[in-house]
Amino acid sequence: MIWQLTQAYHCSLFDVQAIMRIPLACLLLLSTTVLSQPFSLNDRYKKFIEQHINAQMSANRCDAVINDRGISKTGSNECKETNTFILSTTGHVRAICEGAGVPYGDMTRSTIPFPVVICSLKNSGARLRHCQYRGRPSTSYIAIRCENRLPVHFDRDIVVVN
């Protein structure tokens, strides 16, 4: 009788442990799936704003702004060779994706020029927080990638006006 109770207990304990492993395995699988997904559209839009829109930007603030915002080459801590800041509001830049722009390859080009500051790296090979840039103000049309009427990637400034 004791042997039968012991067997029943071990069997029940084993069943409970096996059943508990299933939700854990599902949770791990779900976590892996979620973490392996690319940035959501909203994340890419926020990154675009952080990297490229600054209405108060000036040519002598490249080092401070780029380092403060942690702007680097995608997926690394290496300094970007060039980063362009659009001196405008998010609304004006978003309008390019909402009909105020024209097709430009797989991008959308602004129909009006924007003031920009182009920050070029002076100390090639440097790492984040040690990036040193030379800023140059300009006015140019801009080409951006739009997804669902939101800017998500700055491609280039084109046709310098001044």
Please say if 153 is a catalytic residue: yes
Per the DSSP assignment, residues forming a β-bridge with 133 are 121
Distances (CA, A) of 160 to 53, 70, 103, 117, 118: 18, 28, 18, 12, 12
Q: 52 catalytic, yes or no?
A: yes
- Rounded CA-CA distance 160/32 in Å is 45
Q: What are phi and psi of 88, to 5 degrees?
A: -160, -175
Please, what sign has the CA dihedral across residues 144, 38, 46, 97? positive
Tell me which residues are annotated as active site: 52, 153
